[in-house]
Amino acid sequence: MRIASFNINGVKARLPRLIEWLEETRPAVACLQEIKSQDESFPAAEFEKIGYRAIWHGQKGFNGVAILADGVEPVEAQRTLPGDPEDLHARYIEADVNGVRIACIYLPNGNPQPGPKFDYKLAWMDRLRARMAELWAQEIPCAVVGDFNVIPEDKDVWSPAAMASDALMQPESRAAYRRLLADGWTDAIDTLNPRGGVWTFWDYQAGAWPRDHGFRIDHLLLSPELADRMTAAGVDKEYRGREKASDHAPVWVEIGD
C-alpha cells in the first residue's frame, strides 16, 4: 500500500500534471493540499475516470485538502481540526481507506513572524497534537500526512542561514514538530534518510529548482501500527521539473502487508 502526499498548488491549474502523476505512480492513497478550489468545483469526475474516488474540503482561492483512493471510496471520519470553532480554513480532513486512518493536513505557513499568523500556526500545531493523541489512543493504523510547513532540522534545508528568519524553521515551530515525534509518531522520510539532504519544495523564485535550493516540509507521520510495516519512502522529485509543475514534489511511503 503506497500512501502519498502532494501539495498540488491549485488542483485545476495542475490537473494534467496531477493525473499524469497518479497514472504513472498509482498510489493507493493520494492526499492533496492547496487544492484552491471550492467544494462544488472540485474535479472529482476527472479522478473517477482513472479509477480514483475522492473526498475533499475546499475553499475559494486558497487552502483546501483532499484524499483520493484507488478503486475504493474513502470513508470520511473528520472534516476539520477540532479545538477552534472559529477557524474556518480548509486545512484538515480524515478518512478510512483499506483499514487505515488517513489524516491529510495543510499546516499554516506562519509568515511573517512574529505576529498573529505565527501565533495561529503554533496554536494549530497544538490542536494537531491533541487530535493525533486521540488517534494514537485508538491504537489503529494511522498516517498523518501533508504539508506541515516545518523544516525539522538544519539537514532538511539547502541553506539554514537563508531560511533563518522564516517561520518554517523557528525554534518554536521545530519544537512543536519534535513533540509530535516524541509522542511516538515516525517521520517516514527522515527514518530512511537520516543524513538529510532530501527536499520536497523548491520555490519558483531565484532559480531555486535548477540550483537545487530546496527544503523538506512535506511529511508522512506514521503510528506504530504502520511504522512497523514501512518498507520504503521517498520523494518523486522528477515531477517538480515538469512543465507547469507545482513548487512541491510528491512524497510517499510504502506499507507492507
Active site residue 239: no
CA separation for the pair 144, 16 (Å, rounded): 26
Count of residues for the chain? Answer: 257
Q: Provide the grid cell at 42.
A: 472540485
Catalytic residue among 106, 166, 190, 239: 106
Bridge partner list, 126: none
CA–CA gap between residue 5 and residue 27 (Å, rounded): 9
Sign (positive/negative) of CA torsion 128, 109, 68, 62?
positive
Strands 52-57, 218-222: pairing is unpaired
Q: Which residue has the cell 475553499?
A: 59
The C-alpha atoms of residue 120 and residue 107 are separated, in whole angstroms, by 10
Active-site residue among 96, 147, 156, 218? Answer: 147
SS3 category, 144 = strand
Catalytic residue status for 147: yes
What is the pairing mode between strands 142-147 and 100-106?
parallel
Q: Is the previous residue joined to 27 through a cis bond, with omega within 30 degrees of 0?
A: no
Closest among 183, 214, 194, 229 to 3, alpha carbons compared: 229
Which residues are marked as active site? 106, 147
